Amino acid sequence: MERVLIAGSSRTPVGIYDGKLKDLKEEKLAVLAVRDLLDKTRLAGAHVDELIVGIAKQTSSPSNAARYIGLAAGLPEAVPAYTVQRQGASGLQAVANGFVKIRAGSAGVILAGGAESMSQIPYEIQDARYAFSPDKIVMDPIPAMVAGGQPEKQYGTLTIQGMNQAIAAAWGISPEAQEAYAAESMAKARRAAAEQALTPVEIKVKKARELVTADELYARPAVIAGAADAAAMCLLVSETAADQLGTPVLAEMVSIGVSAGSPAGPGMVGAAAIQKALEKAGKTPAEMDLIAINEACAAQALAAINAMGLSPQEAGEKINPYGGALATGNPWGAAGCVELHKLLCALKAQNGQWGLVVCGGEGGQAMAAVIKMCS
């Protein structure tokens, strides 16, 4: 089987909900990341075999956002593209799809990642297709994306807040521990603000133009990550294609782990995905130099850390060196690839070798991936 290598990654800043990036749709953000990534890797679009983009809230405009993104970014018309959905793990799923295809020898070069403009998600009017009247229900689909991830008759109405409480109760995680973890995430994000070369996003502020070059942080840390806006892309290449094209590579994607369990469960789903990815790589949590966790909520992140058996000192040194979603918000479809980009940047900066990224997907699912930096 082909080794799957990572030639580069790119991401926009993360914008908080109704923040600086609120006027830009996800496809606009993704186009910036695709163009930046191709520029950085000096790869011609004609060499791309496929574009895969994960988006959690897929609307009818554009109906296949990945195809729109490819054409708008200037990829040749002959490059196929498709959009995938695994809720908050959609971006990491897109990367996993590319990993599988290259591993099987069906492609040599794949652009994969995720995008989400949660500020742009439209409200929905239920049961209004055939007759509209004032009694029709206008629904905010963002909380509904959590509640609708599982049959309500079986699991009740779930919310992120409720799941955070359930995980905390199951693992004995106190509110004080959650607040301390969120504060540490914020502190790391502030310290790392200048350490990542992000794709600048130009926005209009009244009659002027402003370049957004850093993540937009909350005024104070939150134990529940709110909605956010961002895009992130990763360039995957086979070892054969890298040699033929002379493309420098950063890392190898070694393994993928996918898990599922009760949507209302005690937070073990992420731990199972981590275990599967590590077992396939023949590694343990202690052997990971850095670990990127998408922080949908503080209790979920702390439960994953506890399950890995890391000491508080190890966790402080290894987990999310650039902070996480509790500081910036959680851009669902982009989240997994945002964390992958952070992991690559941090490993390179710290001369680390082994890294792990994990991202939850609502409905009781999670994904993890192990990467190894190339010397």
pLDDT tens digit string along 26-46? 999 999 999 999 999 999 999
SS3 at position 254:
strand
SS3 at position 350:
helix
Phi and psi dihedrals of 304, rounded to 5? -65, -40
Q: Which two tokens stand for residue 18?
A: 């109704």
pLDDT, tens only, 264-278: 777 678 889 999 999
SS3 at position 28:
helix
- Given a cut of 90, whether residue 363 has pLDDT beyond it is no
pLDDT, tens only, 293-332: 999 999 999 999 999 999 888 999 999 999 999 999 999 9
Q: Which two tokens stand for residue 67?
A: 């195809």
C-beta separation of 325 from 296 below 8 A: yes
* Confidence (pLDDT) at 84: 97
How many alpha carbons fall within 13 Å on the CB side of residue 190?
10
Of 336, 330, 333, 360, which is closest to residue 27 (Cα–Cα)?
A: 333
Least confident of 54-63, 102-111, 167-176: 54-63
* Confidence (pLDDT) at 312: 84
In whole numbers, what is the pLDDT of the chain averaged over residues? 92
Cα–Cα distance measured from residue 168 to residue 166, given in angstroms and rounded to the nearest whole number: 5
C-beta separation of 82 from 67 below 8 A: yes
**52 alpha carbon, distance to own chain's centre:** 14
Cα–Cα distance measured from residue 77 to residue 96, given in angstroms and rounded to the nearest whole number: 24
C-beta separation of 280 from 209 below 8 A: no
Cβ-proximal residues to 194 (8 Å cutoff; 6+ apart), any chain: 214
DSSP character for 119?
G
pLDDT, tens only, 64-98: 999 999 999 999 999 999 999 999 999 999 999 99
SS3 at position 8:
strand
pLDDT, tens only, 10-20: 999 999 999 99
pLDDT band with cut points at 50, 70 and 90 for residue 160: confident
Cα–Cα distance measured from residue 259 to residue 227, given in angstroms and rounded to the nearest whole number: 24
As a whole-number percent, the residues of the chain with pLDDT over 90 amount to 76
C-beta separation of 372 from 254 below 8 A: yes
Rg of the chain, C-alpha, whole Å: 20
Query: Is residue 318 exposed (0-12), middle (13-18) or buried (19+ Cβ within 10 Å)?
Result: buried
pLDDT, tens only, 120-134: 998 888 777 777 776
pLDDT, tens only, 197-241: 799 999 988 888 999 999 999 999 999 999 999 999 999 999 999
Read off the pLDDT of each residue in 179-208 and give the average, rounded to a whole number: 88
Read off the pLDDT of each residue in 51-69 and give the average, rounded to a whole number: 92
* Confidence (pLDDT) at 324: 95
What are the residues facing 227 on neighbouring strands? 330
